[in-house]
Structure 1
Amino acid sequence: TTMDLHSHGGSLIGLRRIREKAPFSPLAAPMREGGMAAICLAVVADSPATRVEDKRIRPYRDPDPGELYAYAGQAFARLFDLVRSQELGVVATRADLQAATPDRPSVIVSSEGGDFLEGRADRVDEAFAKWRLRHLQLTHYRVNELGDIQTEPPVHGGLTAAGEAVVRRCNRLGIVVDVAHGTYDLVKRAAAVTDKPLVLSHTSLNPKPGRYSRTIGPDHARVIAETNGVIGIWPPSTIYPDLAAMAEGMARMVEVAGIDHVGLGSDMMGLLSPAVLPGYDQLPGLAAALLAQGFSKEEMLKLLGGNIRRVFLAGLPA
């Protein structure tokens, strides 16, 4: 089963798109064309409080109480409008994931940021039931009630007590926990708390990540692997000039994390820079690049979905 750990495909996200109910772009058709069975389709929880400054996304104001909770409701509603309009399946259980194929492409409802929780673990239950949330990234571009982020100065020393409670609640309900954007300290604490595999949905390996870099070092990667989790490799052209370079980047991550702990995290339609994988119809090109990189067919299939599938089968409810 070919899978993507992080996507905003279909022109899902954006304040203006949500406000104006903007038209969607094709998602189901490119998934079928490229052989993609299931994607983690993510709303963005902190958009009203962030903006682009000096080519990076930063928080610029404190949201009003309840504001991001209300915004998330609108964002999830748009996600379901997209699902209905393109006749996509929704993965809520292990059986739903097993039924997803490129002929019947499906989405896993995801949130990039737990900001809408406002620190309240009981809201995890509500999102699980009401929006079929099955993949929660704890933090995004603002330090929130759950923990610290890579791109701003730390405030909490990693994961907060509220963040720990959210991880435990996700484990119990059947929501996969994503530590992308979180600091190394947050990731280490989440790994100590979780009893299910973690994912870090979209990043790349960097021997010495700079301050505020979204890339991760080898030790950071190994923490995810030790939970039996998966790290998604993303395709910014600022890091990888072409698909061959991206395949090499995946190979570098395999060297430190292992073949069972690396996958695809395309950040489809969410990158500030151009992507070398701009659409799911380009997926065969990445598969060919992985084979040319020296991976066997079995290893290539693990990297393009098998590993992610394993984690979600471990994390989803029956």
Structure 2
Amino acid sequence: MQIDWPSIQSGSADTLHGTTVDISGWMIPLDPQADTVDYFLLSADEPCCGGCVPRNPLTSIEVQMAAPLAPQAEALALRGRLLRLLDDPAGWRYRLVDALPIEGPQAPQRRFSRRAFLASGAALGLTACAPGHFAGYTESHDETAQTAQTAQTAQTAQSAQPETAPRWQAPPGTLTIDMHSHGGRVIVSRDPAIGARRPFIPLAAPMRAGGMNVICLAIVTDTTVTRVADNRKRFEAWREPQLGELYALGQVEFQRARQLIEREQLQVVTDTASLSALGPLGPCAIISAEGADFLEGQVDRVDEAYTKHQLRHLQLTHYRVNELGDIQTEPPVHSGLTDTGVQVVRRCNALGIVVDVAHGTYDLVKRAADTSTKPLVLSHSALATRPGARSRLITPDHARVIAGTGGVIGVWPSSGTFRDLHAMAEGVKRMADVVGVEHVGLGTDMLGFISPPVFRSYKQLPDLASALLLAGFSQAEVGAILGGNYRRVFDASVG
């Protein structure tokens, strides 16, 4: 049956849960580098540019195709089974599954403008009409001004740069490492019963194409109890988990990571020896968890994850104030790291697991630094002079605590923070000026953003390396930033 967008926006389509429906709209691919896509957003309105993900989830629905479809320049009509989503963490209310394109008079006749369609390809995220909003980041006035200044700096740099950008020549023995990635669409998001079967997307091929050797492949285990807040600018916890719920979700996520690794034929790195042996040979993964919520406060589960799932990188908190400590995006409850958090840090040190304090408050980071006998990492963030009350950005003092442990801060490619790769490289330089180049790394948060970031595919790694050279880093320093610094921390922490 044919449905219209008012029924989606009003919620009257709830009664059609599980029904096969026809609906028309405009495609917004979330994987713009692919020749075909099997997952995208269908929007009620023609987007003003290719980088614009709808801010109002009631004006779009998720689509999972029965077969891959090439990105469409025209509006299209689809037929599929409509699912009602309850408390979806990204805010979506409906999903169309097993969808197929249909022909007929019901298809809208308006087309994308050529400019908008081109922007939805290689330029996605660079032509967005407003700074992007993504999980956990709310711009303060200071940060908005910083973003505008960064954009102007980037435009000036681009106009002044030479026609032939410098090329990075990786020093012998260099490994490139992404400190934080959800590549391949590893996360079981939203409804685990459906999300666990969500199709993977290519991971090994873009890693090879761009020269990315190793990624910290991060599962997430709070998705069933977090959602986008009313202001649509950050995630928040909306209910308490049931006993055993997040542990069970963790088992599903670890299994999905294993399936992705097998599908993409990645090598799993578990120690210094395997990093040295396997890293140069082909795409590799370090098993990581973003948030220790699956522990549910039980420290012995760190041992289980280490042995059973080969966990070697653990981020203590994510988007809920858990048993381990406070987070940047919510008011503090524990005054930082809890006693249980202290025990988890010590257990990670003893077993050989990198401790990641991303998302944690400044007080959490300070206590973790006082506790840990190994270097800490803060895998994905950026500097701000005065971060907002619920911002994911960090102050120079926050960064210096990490550096004081011998650790590394990963700079991320958020389009809410940086206008393009050149601006991101300047952001890396600002971080290096504060803590020293030996304490800066790369944390792409691949496929973890709501609004498209400025680094969207590992194929862009050579471009980022060139931008870092233009920012004034030497060939050796670029190698340290793109992997060498994290490798040092991994060797010291895991052994």
Q: TM-score w.r.t. structure 1 length?
A: 0.98
Task: Write out aligned runs for 1:64-213 (5 A).
Answer: 64-101=242-279, 103-213=281-391
Cα drift, residue 186 of structure 1: 0.2
Residue 227 of structure 1 is matched in structure 2 by: 405
Q: Deviations over 1:239-284 (max 9, x none)?
A: 1110000000000000111110000000000012211100101000
Distance 2:300 2:429 in 1: 40
- 1:63 aligns to what SS in structure 2? coil
Q: Which amino acid aligns with 2:254?
A: F
Cα drift, residue 17 of structure 1: 7.8
Aligned with residue 26 of structure 1, among 202, 214, 224: 202
Cα drift, residue 103 of structure 1: 4.0
Q: Deviations over 1:290-317 (max 9, x none)?
A: 0000100000110100101111011114
Aligned with residue 490 of structure 2, among 308, 312, 315: 312
Cα drift, residue 195 of structure 1: 0.2
Q: 1:102 to 1:285 in 2, by over 3 A?
A: farther
Distance 2:299 2:185 in 1: 29
Aligned with residue 36 of structure 1, among 212, 220, 231: 212
Q: What is the percent sequence identity of the aligned residues? A: 61
- 1:15 aligns to what SS in structure 2? coil
**Greater mean alpha carbon deviation, residues 9-18 or residues 193-202:** 9-18
Q: Which amino acid aligns with 1:9?
A: G
- 1:14 aligns to what SS in structure 2? coil
Cα drift, residue 206 of structure 1: 0.5
Q: Deviations over 1:8-57 (max 9, x none)?
A: 00011133585331211010111111111101000001111101122211
Q: Which runs of 5+ in 2 are unaligned?
A: 1-174
Residue 48 of structure 1 is matched in structure 2 by: 224
Q: 1:67 to 1:18 in 2, by over 3 A?
A: closer
Q: Which amino acid aligns with 2:387?
A: P
Q: Which amino acid aligns with 1:215?
A: L
**Greater mean alpha carbon deviation, residues 16-25 or residues 170-179:** 16-25
CA contact (8 A) 2:216 2:287 kept: yes
Residue 64 of structure 2 is matched in structure 1 by: none
Distance 2:450 2:278 in 1: 30
Q: Deviations over 1:202-251 (max 9, x none)?
A: 00001111101000000000000000000000001111110000000000
Distance 1:198 1:72 in 2: 23
Q: Which amino acid aligns with 2:189?
A: L
Cα drift, residue 96 of structure 1: 1.2
Is 1:274 paired with 2:452? yes
CA contact (8 A) 1:94 1:316 kept: yes
Residue 243 of structure 1 is matched in structure 2 by: 421
Cα drift, residue 100 of structure 1: 3.1
Is 1:11 paired with 2:185? yes
**Greater mean alpha carbon deviation, residues 15-24 or residues 53-62:** 15-24
Count, aligned residues:
317
Larger RCO, structure (CA 8 Å, separation 6 or more): 1
- Which protein has the larger Cα radius of gyration, Structure 1 or Structure 2? 2
Distance 2:313 2:394 in 1: 21
Distance 2:273 2:210 in 1: 23
Is 1:283 paired with 2:461? yes
TM-align CA RMSD = 1.0
Aligned with residue 299 of structure 1, among 474, 477, 488: 477
CA contact (8 A) 2:190 2:224 kept: no
Q: TM-score w.r.t. structure 2 length?
A: 0.63
Distance 1:7 1:100 in 2: 19
Q: Which runs of 5+ in 1 are unaligned?
A: none
